[in-house]
Structure 1
Amino acid sequence: MRNDDCWCGSGLKYKKCHMEQDEYLKKLSKEVGYKIPKDIIKTPNQIEGIRKSGVITHAILDLMEEVIKPGVTTEELNKIAHDYTIEHGGIPAPLNYGGFPKSICTSINEVVCHGIPEDRTLKDGDIINVDVTTILDGYYADASRMYIVGNASEEAVKLVNDTKKALELGMEQVKPFSTVGHIGHAIEGFANENGYSVVYEYGGHGIGTKFHEEPFVAHVGDPGEGMILLPGMVFTIEPMLNIGKPETRVLRDDWTAVTRDGSLSAQWEHTLVVTESGYEVLT
C-alpha cells in the first residue's frame, strides 16, 4: 500500500520510492505482453553501490596487466586478486559460488570461460581471460579482460582485439527501449563478418544485488528480440568469440568450458547500467 515501507528495503514509504516506477512497469508489461520484474530496475543508491564495487573489479584487472607474463601461474593470479579484494573490503563472488573453488576465473587459449586457477604456468604466446566479480557491501560488479602473454600469433592477437570490438559494438546498442536482441545482433554480425563464431551457450546477465539476475543477454539475435531495455537496468555484456566452431564442452571438473574443436576463444566483459540517454560502464 502507499504508506507501507517500500519492498526494496530503502526505508522509505512506498509512495516516495518505487510506487510510480511499479505503476509504469505494470503499464509497460501490458504493452509488451510479458511481466517485467519490478526489481529489475535499480535505484540510484543501488547503482552507486554497484559502481563502488566496480572500482575494485576494475583495479584488479589493471593489476593483472602488471603481473601476467610467461612463468606466472594462474594460482598466483588468483592469490593477487583474492588478497586485493579482501584488503579493500570486498568479497570475491566466485569463491564457493556453486562449489567453484577459486576467487577468479582464468581461461587460457581454447578455454571459453570458467577456467579454474591452478599451478599451470603461463607460456609465451598464450592468451588468457581473467574474470573478476566483486561483492562490496552486498553489491556485485563483474568484468573480464583478455591478456596476451609474451608474443602471441597474429591470429590470436586479432581475435583478442576483435572480441573487444564486439563488446564495444554491443554496448553501443544499449539505450532506453532498445532490446537485448539489438545487442546480440550487433555482436553476431561483426563476428560473422570477420570469420568468427559466437558462443551461444553462455551469455551476459543481470547483476547488482545478486550474482545472476534477469535478463539473460544473448550475444546472438535479432533487433526486437528479448527484453526491452529500460533506464536503471544493470547487466553484463560478455561476448565469447571462437576462431573455429561455436560449440563448447565442459571438462570433468564441472566448470571449465572449452571449445569442442580445440580452437582459440576470447572474451571481454563489462557491467553497465542503462541511462536516460544510453549507458554507463560501471566496471
Structure 2
Amino acid sequence: MLRSTLSATGAAALGGAALAAWGNRELENFRLHEVTVPLLPPGTLRGDSTDFRILHISDLHMLPGQDTKREWVSSLIDTDPDLVVNTGDNLGDAKTVPDVLRALGPLLSRPGLFVFGSNDYWAPRPVNPLGYLARRKRPVSDVELPWRDMRAAFVEHGWRDATHARCEFKAGHVRIAAAGVDDPHHDLDDYDTIAGPPHRDCDLALALSHAPEPAVLRRFADDGYQLALCGHTHGGQICLPGGRAIVTNCGINARRAKGLSHLGPMHLHVSEGLGTSRYAPVRLFCPPTATLLRITEHA
C-alpha cells in the first residue's frame, strides 16, 4: 500500500510539474481577439470606413528580458487602431518603464486613453495560490514603482489620462466622451469626481477602470456610458478547459471575467491581459490577449 501511495504521489507531482511547465510556455502564446459592437449613431462613419477601431490592451506586467512580448505588442500597430485604450498594470518591475515605452512605442502615435492599476504604483508581492483561489484580497506591497515617469511619457505622446477625469475629444470623425477612475480593487476610486452623464453630443461614451468592480460599473451604467473597458482579472489566468474562469480576483462573477458582456444597457469588455505577476508565471487555458473592438453603426 505504501508503494502504491508513493507511486500515485509521484505521478501527481510529475503531472503537476508538466502542467506548470505548459502553463509557463503559454505566457508567450499571444493572441488578438476581434469583436464587433454596434454603438455608433447612423452617419457617424465617413467615406469607406465601416468601423471605428479600439485596441484594448491591459496588464502587461512587463519584466526585464521579455523581448517577445515587447515585439508582439509593438506589432499591434498593424491593426490600424483609431484609439488605443490601456487599462493598467503595465509594470512588473521598477526597471521596466523603458521596456513598456518600447513595446507601446508605435501605438503612442495614435490617440489613446489610460488608467492605472495597483501594479503600476506598487511592485507585486509573493502570491499564496490558496489565498488566490480562496478569493482573498491581497494587500499591496510597500515598494513604489516609477509610475510618474511612465505617466509623463504617455501624456507627452498625447495619450489622455482618464483617472478621475472626463475627457472629450475627436478621434477621426468620432466624438468621444470618456471618463475613468483609479483602481477600485484597492479602494483608490472616487467616482464622485466624474459623476454625471457623458456629453449629450458625443458619438461614443467610454468608461475606464482597471478592475471591473460591480459598484463602480453600476454607476457608469446608471450615468449612461455605452462601453466600459477593464482589465485586472487576467481572464481568470488559471482556467478550466475551454477557458472557463475559476476566480476573477474581484467582485465580478466568473462568466464576466473576460470578453464582452452586458451590465444593464452598458456593454462591458474585460481584457484577458498580456502578462502575469512575476510570482505567478503561468496561464492555463487562458493565453495572453489583446482585443480589437470594431465599433460599428447601430441600426
With the length of structure 1 as denominator, give the TM-score of the two structures: 0.28
Larger RCO (CA under 8 A, 6+ residues apart): 2
